[in-house]
């Protein structure tokens, strides 16, 4: 059975949340449309800034980490950093000034961190030039990337607040974030659909059994997101949940995006025919969504595709299957061209160079969509292709990119490659076997699927035999059931442990209760 996290005492954590709780209490108590979060006015009675949405860390690599937070007005971020919870001997680091142009969010890159060390940080905001105007502190912690021989533990999943299921205070909020925290992971990979900008929330959803799912709803979540403020409001909404805030304060986040950050199944240049939207240009919507993603997620740099080198045991390669793709369509081209792009040639070139330069034992490819599952562009008519797979037969369309990548991995003898993904709203373990594939010029590998976090449960999707995927395990709703609510318990995440002395990778698929559904131990080559 899992043991609850000891890294921060509950008293310490709650003390750190005082500022956040005061700012959110009135909103969280109203399960209906509420006002947008706006910066407070500076008056003689409110001269101190307020940290509005907690703190988080992310993109830990080498001796560096990103610290994130948000003030309610322009104020300088101040971060205290220590190796002990008492903050004895802490060093103070001056961060950037939160600006209206970034929605008063602020990120600070910290370097010079020791390997394999639990670090504690405390964030305040101070109005420039006024030493009295300092916010209440909020505390967080993270473990730095390990040194040789140290064990690594992390979790992954995707799909937060989708299909009409948002924060339900009566049910206890986004409870799976609390469950993931039990395992004290070193970090969390959010595999995409970090928000559902195209899924507005209603105050009440009537479930098939007649019970009512009651959502907390904000102004920005009551309609599809089109403006920058509305996209920002979607990210701020998830941070209204106490489990999400606690989790992000104690577990570093490494995030990528998929489609629902913008609109279902989108591609660059698409023009929407959806009457819910007054802004029809998806590229414009994507630019606004991307800005909000970069503001609210503790990511490093400006690209969503990137590599995180997490110590000698592990490198994580994040894919971006949205920014560079060609339009969705039949996906049946016989020759590779710009029309078959999914990752795009430049991203694949960067990925190949990063793989070649990796000295880590394990190379995890964090993909926002699975390789061998059919995901239709039009689910109702079961037509068009949203992901890689396109049905029975030899490699065609977007599969030609994967052919190129898998061959490259094989012929350059890049070992111990594992794919982790989400997207399809159920959990599964797939083994890709060249002996059972239509295209066989690749080394066998595993792909593990897990999700959703707080969204509807679906599945299973049909398999495409091109790369020989075998379903070793899957957990899906009963036949004829779909879009199950989070209260049905079929919310899933994966837990990975890389043992320091042996370098064995153990992958466990878990549900909302933390149940061990399936475990696979992989030996390093």
pLDDT digits (tens, 9 = 90+) for 89-101: 999 999 999 999 9
Asked if the 10-143 domain carries CATH number 2.60.40.380, the reply is yes
pTM to 2 decimal places: 0.92
For residue 394, the 8-state DSSP code is S
**Pick from 315, 465, 323: nearest CA to 390:** 465
**Pick from 202, 416, 421: nearest CA to 313:** 416
Distant-in-sequence, close-in-space partners of 266: CB < 8 Å, separation ≥ 6: 259, 282, 285, 286, 322
pLDDT digits (tens, 9 = 90+) for 463-495: 999 999 999 999 999 998 999 999 999 999 999
Q: Give the distance, in angstroms, between the CA of residue 58 and the centroid of all CA atoms in the same chain.
A: 11
Q: Give the distance, in angstroms, between the CA of residue 238 and the centroid of all CA atoms in the same chain.
A: 12
**CATH code, 152-522:** 3.60.21.70
CA-CA distance, 400 to 396, in Å (whole number)? 6
pLDDT recorded at residue 286: 98
Q: Are strands 152-157 and 187-190 parallel, antiparallel or unpaired?
A: parallel
Tokens 């992310």 correspond to: 58
pLDDT recorded at residue 47: 85
pLDDT recorded at residue 26: 30
pLDDT recorded at residue 131: 87
pLDDT recorded at residue 392: 85
3-class DSSP state for residue 405?
helix
Q: Give the distance, in angstroms, between the CA of residue 207 and the centroid of all CA atoms in the same chain.
A: 27
What six digits make up the tokens of 167? 């924060």
- Give the residue ranges of the chain where pLDDT is below 70: 1-46
Rg (CA), the chain: 22
Whole-angstrom distance between the N-terminal and C-terminal Cα of the chain?
A: 31
- Domains 10-143 and 152-522 equal at CATH topology level: no
pLDDT recorded at residue 101: 98
Counting DSSP H helices and E strands in the chain, the numbers are: 8, 24
Spans of all domains in the chain: 10-143, 152-522
pLDDT digits (tens, 9 = 90+) for 112-123: 999 999 999 999
Q: Where do the H-state alpha helices sit in 313-452?
A: 345-356, 399-411
Maximum C-alpha span of the chain: 74
pLDDT recorded at residue 41: 41
């Amino acid at each position: 059975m899992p043991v609850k996290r000891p890294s921060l005492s509950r008293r310490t954590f709650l003390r750190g949340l005082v500022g956040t709780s005061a700012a959110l209490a009135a909103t969280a108590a109203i399960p209906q449309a509420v006002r947008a979060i706006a910066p407070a006015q500076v008056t003689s009675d409110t001269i101190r800034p307020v940290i509005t949405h907690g703190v988080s860390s992310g993109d830990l690599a080498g001796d560096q980490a990103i610290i994130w937070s948000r003030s309610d007005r322009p104020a300088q971020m101040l971060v205290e950093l220590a190796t002990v919870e008492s903050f004895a001997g802490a060093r103070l680091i001056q961060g950037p000034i939160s600006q209206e142009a970034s929605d008063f969010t602020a990120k600070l890159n910290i370097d010079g961190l020791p390997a394999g060390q639990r670090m504690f940080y405390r964030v305040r905001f101070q109005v420039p030039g006024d030493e009295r105007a300092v916010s209440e502190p909020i505390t967080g912690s993270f473990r730095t990337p390990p040194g040789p021989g140290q064990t690594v533990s992390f979790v992954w999943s995707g799909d937060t607040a989708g299909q009409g299921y948002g924060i339900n205070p009566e049910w206890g909020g986004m409870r799976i974030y609390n469950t993931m925290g039990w395992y004290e992971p070193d970090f969390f990979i959010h595999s995409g659909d970090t928000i559902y900008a195209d899924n507005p929330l209603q105050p009440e959803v009537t479930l098939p059994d007649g019970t009512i799912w009651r959502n907390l709803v904000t102004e920005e979540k009551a309609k599809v997101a089109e403006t920058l403020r509305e996209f920002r409001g979607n990210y701020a909404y998830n941070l209204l949940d106490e489990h999400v805030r606690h989790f992000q304060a104690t577990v570093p986040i490494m995030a990528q995006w998929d489609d629902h950050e913008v609109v279902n199944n989108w591609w660059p240049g698409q023009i929407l025919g959806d009457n819910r939207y007054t802004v029809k240009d998806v590229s414009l919507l994507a630019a606004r969504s991307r800005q909000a993603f970069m503001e609210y997620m503790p990511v490093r740099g400006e690209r969503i595709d990137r590599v995180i080198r997490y110590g000698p045991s592990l490198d994580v390669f994040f894919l971006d299957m949205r920014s560079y793709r060609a339009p969705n369509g039949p996906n049946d081209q016989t020759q590779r061209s710009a029309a078959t792009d999914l990752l795009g040639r430049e991203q694949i070139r960067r990925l190949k160079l990063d793989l070649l330069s990796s000295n880590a034992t394990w190379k995890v490819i964090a993909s926002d969509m699975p390789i061998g599952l059919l995901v239709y562009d039009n689910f109702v008519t079961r037509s068009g292709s949203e992901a890689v797979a396109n049905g029975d037969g030899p490699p065609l369309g977007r599969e030609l990119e994967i052919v190129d990548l898998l061959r490259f991995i094989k012929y350059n003898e890049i070992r111990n490659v594992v794919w982790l993904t989400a997207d399809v709203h159920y959990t599964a373990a797939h083994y890709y076997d060249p002996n059972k594939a239509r295209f066989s010029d690749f080394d066998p590998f595993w792909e593990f699927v897990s999700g959703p976090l707080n969204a509807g449960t679906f599945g299973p999707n049909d398999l495409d035999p091109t790369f020989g995927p075998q379903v070793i395990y899957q957990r899906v709703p009963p036949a004829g059931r779909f879009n199950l609510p989070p209260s049905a318990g079929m919310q899933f995440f994966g837990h990975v442990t890389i043992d320091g002395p042996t370098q064995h990778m153990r992958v466990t698929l878990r549900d909302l209760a933390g149940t061990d559904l399936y475990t696979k131990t992989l030996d390093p080559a």
